[in-house]
């Protein structure tokens, strides 16, 4: 039986950590190992980890950020397959079994699966991510400059040999976070990606509020575009030096352009909204019209909604921005 490691990288998430570890230990796949790497937590995380004793492998390091934690964890992996579970997320009991069935069907570098969105207490919101399924040839799309739809970190299982062709990642002071970006897209440059068409885990959103433009737990929406651009430049260098693959200097991604759109238009004056749409929206509109993952219906729907941001009534414009940016806002509308 092929062995699988569930790696949990943790920093100051004592209130969620036990749920993540328990979900990894409760997998119905017998060949599951659990490694918990703590990145210098200052809360009670260490005590929680030590209570599990020999049921898990514990690694403690000084705080270096998520990239340093991934570098350390991946270098220590001895199994051929791994899931990198965030310490505030959970896996459902059959997650490892189901991804291993897919790995047996081909030479996949990565198998991804949907995650149900939970609020901070762990209650289901009714939403899930991602909402679009990519094709298997994600590497070709990356070479064309398109970031493919992927779940957050916890919704991905990897062939470890693929990860080790991409990692370690340079981890200077400005590149402490976003390690899952390099795993998600780097693996796709090594081999094909498969998708499980069901939710196999839960993704915790700490501010699970459909009344805001914020959805993911990463950087503030105004900072995300800059961080993503930096990560693309690093991935581009790694692809060229280690994999002999040329990636374009720029990339296309609706999530990236959506962050720019939201930070530019949300709660802005009518004049500013018109000015941005007329002069600065080229990348945003291209990410919709040329999107290789979307249906024609979805493209027209998103264009129509985006156009509503130009109406003089600010509450409608702000509602539309929330609706486009935050899946929980769409869920709230559906429940009415």
Query: What is the structure's pLDDT at 219?
Result: 47
Report if residue 133 sits inside a domain.
yes
**How much is the average pLDDT of 172-200?**
91
Q: Tell me the pLDDT tens digit for each residue of 59-104.
A: 999 999 999 999 999 999 999 999 999 999 999 999 999 999 999 9
Examine residue 132 and state whether it is found in any structural domain, yes or no: yes
The residues, any chain, with a CB within 8 Å of residue 46's CB and separated by 6 or more, are 38, 60
Q: How many domains does the chain divide into? A: 2
Strands 4-10 vs 32-39: parallel, antiparallel or unpaired:
parallel
* Reported confidence tier of residue 242, pLDDT bands at 50, 70, 90: very high
pLDDT recorded at residue 327: 77
Same domain, 104 and 182: yes
Cis amide linkage into residue 157, ω under 30° from 0: no
Name the strand (E) or helix (H) holding 249: none
Question: Which contiguous run of DSSP H or E holds residue 42?
Answer: none
Q: Highest-confidence range of 92-96, 169-173, 323-327, by mean pLDDT?
A: 92-96
pLDDT digits (tens, 9 = 90+) for 207-237: 766 667 666 655 455 566 678 889 999 999 9
Residue 173: inside a domain, yes or no?
Answer: yes
Burial class (CB in 10 A: 0-12, 13-18, 19+), 213: buried
Domain match, 156 and 301 both: no
Is the separation of the CB atoms in 65 and 177 below 8 Å? yes
Let me know whether 299 and 221 are in one domain. Answer: no
pLDDT at 259 exceeding the cut of 50: yes
> Which segments of 160-287 are extended strands (E)?
193-204
Cα angle 73, 221, 134 (rounded to 5 degrees) comes to 60
Cα separation, 11 vs 36, in Å, equals 11
Q: How far apart are CA 104 and CA 252, in angstroms?
A: 32
Domain containing residue 38: 4-242
> For 133-157, what is the mean pLDDT?
95
Percentage of the chain beyond pLDDT 70 is 91
Co-location of 188 and 136 in the same domain = yes
Kindly report the pTM of this predicted structure.
Answer: 0.92
Give the end of a domain, one of 242, 262, 281.
242
Based on the domain organization, do 309 and 231 belong to the same domain? no
CA distance 220 to 142: 25
Residue 218 pLDDT: 52
Looking at 242, 277, 292, the residue that finishes a domain is 242
The reply to whether omega before 89 is within 30° of 0 (cis) is no
Tens digit of each residue's pLDDT (9 = 90 or more) over 288-297:
999 999 999 9
Task: Give the H or E element holding residue 39.
Answer: strand 32-39
How does strand 110-118 pair with strand 156-159? antiparallel
């Amino acid at each position: 039986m092929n062995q699988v490691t569930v790696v949990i990288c943790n920093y100051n998430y004592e209130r969620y950590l036990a749920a993540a570890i328990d979900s990894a230990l409760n997998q119905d796949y017998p060949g599951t190992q659990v490694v918990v790497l703590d990145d210098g937590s200052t809360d009670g995380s260490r005590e929680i980890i030590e209570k599990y004793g020999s049921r898990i492998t514990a690694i403690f390091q000084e705080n270096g950020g998520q990239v340093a934690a991934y570098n350390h964890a991946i270098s220590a992996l001895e199994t051929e397959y791994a899931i990198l579970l965030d310490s505030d997320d959970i896996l459902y009991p059959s997650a490892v079994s189901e991804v291993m069935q897919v790995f047996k069907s081909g030479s996949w570098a990565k198998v991804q699966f949907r995650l149900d969105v939970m609020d901070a207490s762990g209650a289901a919101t009714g939403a899930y991510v991602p909402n679009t399924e990519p094709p298997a040839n994600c590497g070709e799309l990356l070479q064309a400059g398109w970031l493919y739809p992927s779940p957050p970190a916890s919704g991905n299982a990897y062939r470890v040999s693929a990860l080790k062709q991409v990692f370690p990642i340079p981890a200077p002071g400005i590149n402490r976070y976003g390690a899952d970006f390099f795993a998600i897209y780097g693996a796709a440059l090594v081999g094909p990606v498969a998708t499980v068409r069901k939710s196999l885990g839960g993704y915790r959103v700490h501010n699970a509020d459909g009344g805001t433009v914020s959805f993911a737990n990463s950087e503030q929406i105004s900072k995300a575009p800059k961080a993503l651009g930096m990560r693309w430049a690093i991935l581009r260098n790694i692809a060229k030096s280690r994999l002999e693959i040329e990636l374009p200097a720029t990339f296309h991604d609706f999530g990236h352009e959506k962050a720019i759109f939201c930070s530019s238009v949300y709660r802005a004056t009518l004049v500013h909204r018109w000015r941005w749409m007329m002069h600065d929206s080229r990348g945003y509109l291209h990410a919709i019209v040329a999107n290789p993952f979307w249906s024609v219906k979805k493209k027209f729907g998103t264009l129509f909604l985006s156009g509503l941001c130009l109406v003089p009534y600010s509450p409608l414009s702000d509602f539309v921005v929330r609706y486009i940016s935050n899946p929980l806002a769409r869920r709230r509308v559906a429940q009415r």
